[in-house]
Amino acid sequence: MKKVLTYGTYDLLHYGHFRLLKRAKELGDHLTVAISTDEFNLIKGKKCVQPYGHRAEIIKAIRYVDEVIPENSWEQKINDIREHNINVFVMGCDWKGKFDYLEQYRKVLYLDRTDDISTTTLKNHLKSIQNIQKDINQ
Ligand code: C2G
C-alpha cells in the first residue's frame, strides 16, 4: 500500500484545500493528513476561526482522506514518516523547497496551489459582509 502524507491548518475548508487533498490521494492508496493544532497554529502565527476538533472532523469526512493526525510541531515530520510508513510526502507549492530535507527519507512532492482562493480571502470576505450588515442595522 502506497501511503501519502500532507500537513496543513485547513481552517474554513475551501476548494483549494479540497483539490490538494484529492491530488494527494491520487498519488497513492492511503492519505494521512496532519492537521495543525490550535497551539501549533499560534506558533505558526495563525489564528484559526475553527478549533482543531472541528477542522480534523471535517477533513476526516472527505472521502480522499484515510487518516487524520495532529500536527504539534515543525519537527515531527521525520517521525511521522517513519511511524506511519509513509512513501510520499506532499505539500502545496507555496512550501516549495521548505521540506527538501525530507528527500533523504521519502519522496517529496510540491503540488500547484489553486489560484484565487485562500482562507485569508474568505475571512476578509466574511468581514466585509459583517461591515455591510452593521451599516444596514445602523
Ligand atoms: N493550498 C492549495 N491551494 C490554496 C490554498 C492552500 O493548494 N488555494 C494547500 C497548501 O499549499 C497546503 C494545504 O492546502 O498544502 C493546506 O493549506 P493551509 O491550511 O494554509 O496549510 P498551512 O498553514 O500552509 O500549513 O507543516 C506544514 C504546515 O502545517 C502547512
Residue 60 falls in the annotated catalytic set: no
Task: Say how far apart CA 29 and CA 114 lie, in whole Å.
Answer: 23
- φ and ψ at residue 73, rounded to 5 degrees: -155, 165
Do residues 95 and 6 lie in contact, with contact meaning Cβ atoms separated by under 8 Å? no
Task: Say how far apart CA 109 and CA 92 lie, in whole Å.
Answer: 8
Longest Cα pair distance anywhere in the chain, in angstroms?
Answer: 60
Taking the model in full, what pTM does it have? 0.95
Task: Say how far apart CA 96 and CA 111 lie, in whole Å.
Answer: 9
Mean pLDDT of the chain: 97
Q: Please indicate whether residue 94, judged by its CB atom, sits closer than 6 Å to ligand 1.
A: yes
Q: Which atom of ligand 1 is nearest to the CA of 117?
A: 8
- Report pLDDT digits (tens) over 50-89: 999 999 999 999 999 999 999 999 999 999 999 999 999 9
Task: Say how far apart CA 115 and CA 132 lie, in whole Å.
Answer: 26
Cα 130 to middle of ligand 1, angstroms? 26
